[in-house]
Structure 1
């Protein structure tokens, strides 16, 4: 019996040429083919492909193997965010070491508790959360998404802009009230997100009882660089064993494994699906590890360059630009 051919590794993205509309592309190495030209149903976007994910996947494998198609050089194209989602779900406090660091850092100044005691208490709290509690998820705006190489404008009203590198699951088939054991079957693939935060605006100051304000602190235009590509789940491997690294101007600031997650991708997707219906193309951001700007005492400023990588998902590179006064 003949051995079936090994699948060709590919990724999906959104691309454009100067002065031309964007198109959904399939990427193999440094080549891109326009899926709107080669698939029978002529998808106009990556979201169109995800809307038919179960049927589309075998066709995408066929495209990846077809060297006779009209392939373009990736280097000659503009790379946009890989997908324009209908819904964005963001997560906080989901990396064990990060949350322990926060607990220690936010001890009252007059606390009699030592740092070692505080860390032990926080570690016990994280173990209990993993066993008994639920993820902390809130809603983001698709309008905050920008491309993986676009400049990030730092708004004049934001005094403490910070970075948050996050593994992002992209939904491929609708999911409602699915179990953790079923959840990953609904994930088409993964991509990189940098979920920027205005730290000074996370908590309301006009009335502290209101609590957090995720609209102001998370959703400025361009505050969610996404991509470069969506890598199908079959090429990513275990999402609980990936390395996340963010460098600021060449200096490593975040460097952690997704093994440090309190709630893994499956539990995160399952949890969101208990409340609402996840749709094809939706993004589930899974939290950021230790090493944010507040930890280092160094927030983003004009001219900073962030370079983000996650195992197997490519490199995202964005430059910060201060907003020009009107």
Structure 2
């Protein structure tokens, strides 16, 4: 199934139409997009047999962040070997973890106001937690995942890297610096949840035509989704609706010697999930 947020209301998407969850369930599940994850097993049971006859066409520009109010947002740094290679950094032995503050979350197709000329992109698989978990075994980790989505970890590199200690979370949390969507997709919709092509295409000022700046695959994660979920849960209690940005493959702007400019358009795509499109001003 594909769960989305349409103008602040939780919906199921199918064949270009949206089914309002609260109305279709006769109030069994609330309109709040977070609520479906708080009783995930019951919701999944209902949604698997949902009647889509009341679904209606919708405008994709009205899609908001699929989970706009998670309790926790985790982001994993340096989690693809090719990205570590391009940064000339050793592969990490343990998760590198920071956060993106909730106010940076946005829908999939927002316009991003650039606070400086040092803003970079990072295309990422996003994991949405479906069940509370503490000290989760790696072999049980997928049981705690509601679904997968696609996000961008936009980064103001000067703020991120300024000393005396790096400010990753601040540099990555300007408004609309964490767009994601277009939906949360359950893994039964995917041919291989462990191997999804992930890419980004940049257009506009400073670019000739359409430039594929990132093109990777999630099978190349240093820490897999189950490993991330398990390792995080050894310290924190994961909560339903929590988000995990899992890292970016090679091809970020710094590696190309470019930063985002007003008038650029970036289209990010994750196999089986869909695309998000951001313009910059």
Confirm or deny a common fold (TM above 0.5): yes
Offset at 1:201? Answer: 1.8
Matches of 2:48 and 2:140, distance apart in 1: 24
User: What's the Cα RMSD here?
Assistant: 1.5
Name the residue aligned to 2:147.
Answer: 189
3-state SS of 2:262 partner: coil
TM-score, normalized by length of structure 1? 0.81
Q: How many angstroms apart in 2 are the aligned matches of 1:181 and 1:102?
A: 31
55, 76, 81: which one aligns with 1:71:
55
Equivalent of residue 53 in structure 1, options 40, 62, 75? 40
Match of 2:221 among 261, 284, 296: 261
2:13 is the counterpart of 1:27:
yes
For normalisation by structure 2, the TM-score amounts to 0.93
Which residue number corresponds to residue 227 of structure 1? 181
Match of 2:81 in 1: 96
Structure with the bigger percentage of strand? 2
Equivalent residue, structure 1, for 2:231: 271
For structure 2, the residue ranges without an aligned partner over 5 or more in a row are 204-209
1:280-291 equivalent positions in 2, closer than 5 A: 280-291=240-251
What number of residue pairs does the alignment pair up?
273
Once residues 91 and 139 of structure 1 are traced to their aligned partners in structure 2, the CA distance between those partners, rounded to angstroms, is 8
Counterpart CA distance in 2 for 1:76 and 1:319 is 15
Find the aligned partners of 1:320 and 1:227 in 2 and give their Cα distance.
Answer: 18
Residue number among 169, 186, 202 corresponding to 1:248 in the alignment: 202
Q: Is the Cα–Cα contact under 8 Å of residues 29 and 43 in structure 2 kept in the other structure? A: no
Question: Given the alignment of the two structures, is residue 134 of structure 1 paired with residue 94 of structure 2, yes or no?
Answer: yes
- How far apart are the structure 2 equivalents of 1:178 and 1:134? 16
Contact 2:106–2:176 at 8 Å: present in 1 too?
A: yes
After TM superposition, the runs of 4+ consecutive aligned structure 1 residues lying more than 2 A away are 74-77, 236-240
Q: CA, structure 1 residues 270+305, in 2 after alignment: closer, same or farther (shift >3 Å)?
A: same
| Partner Cα separation in structure 2 for residue 32 and residue 72 of structure 1 | 5
Q: Against the structure 1 CA distance between its residues 76 and 100, is the aligned structure 2 distance closer, same or farther, given a 3 Å change threshold?
A: closer
Q: Which whole-Å CA distance do the structure 2 matches of 1:160 and 1:309 have between them?
A: 23
Look up the match of 1:86.
Answer: 71
The answer (yes or no) to whether the contact 1:166–1:194 under 8 Å persists in 2 is yes
Change (3 A) 1:224 1:77: closer
